[in-house]
Structure formats: C-alpha cells, structure tokens
Amino acid sequence: MKAKIKITLKNGVLDPQGKAIEGAIKGLGISGVGDVRQGKYIEVDLSESDPAKAKALVEQMCKDLLANTVIENYSYEIG
C-alpha cells in the first residue's frame, strides 16, 4: 500500500514562503490570485496490507515525525 500524506501550516501561522510564491505568481501577470499557502507532500510505501493497521502506522509517523502539530496539520490517503 502507499500512503499519500499532505502537511500544511495551520491557519494563523505566518507563511512567508506562501507570500513570496503569491508575489511570484502575480509577477507572471496572472490575475485573480488570492492567498497562497505552501506545504509538503510525502509518499510512503507500506508493506502492511491491512487498511486499519496501515492507518495506525501512518498516524504514528505523522504525529511523531512528519508533522509538527504545534504549527502544522496533516491529512492522508492510503491505497
């Protein structure tokens, strides 16, 4: 199975990289662009075939390492 994990900054956490990207997109002359927030995308191959067990593993790796829950949220799909 493969876990596809998205990590994003929580609302209210300043995202200067997102702001810089927003400025760069607008610099291309593209109109109608609002707020930009950036994050991380991580894929993890899992040998576990049981969906419930795989979910528990992904939860653990997100909480303990991949996301810092002081500043970040995470979400994932397993398939």
Q: How is 10-47 classified by DSSP, letter by letter?
A: PTTS--HHHHHHHHHHHHTT--S------EEEEEEE--
Please give the Cα distance from 57 to 41 (Å, whole number). Answer: 17
Of the pair 16, 32, the CB lying nearest other proteins is at 16
- Interface pick for other proteins out of 34, 52, 70, 79 (rule CB under 8 A): 70
Residue 60 contacts other proteins per CB under 8 A: no
C-alpha distance from residue 56 to each of 31, 41, 59 (Å):
43, 19, 5
- Show the site string, 2-41: x = touches other proteins by CB under 8 A, - = not: -----------xx-xx--x---------------------
Which residues here bind other proteins, judged by CB under 8 A? Answer: 13-14, 16-17, 20, 64-66, 68, 70-71
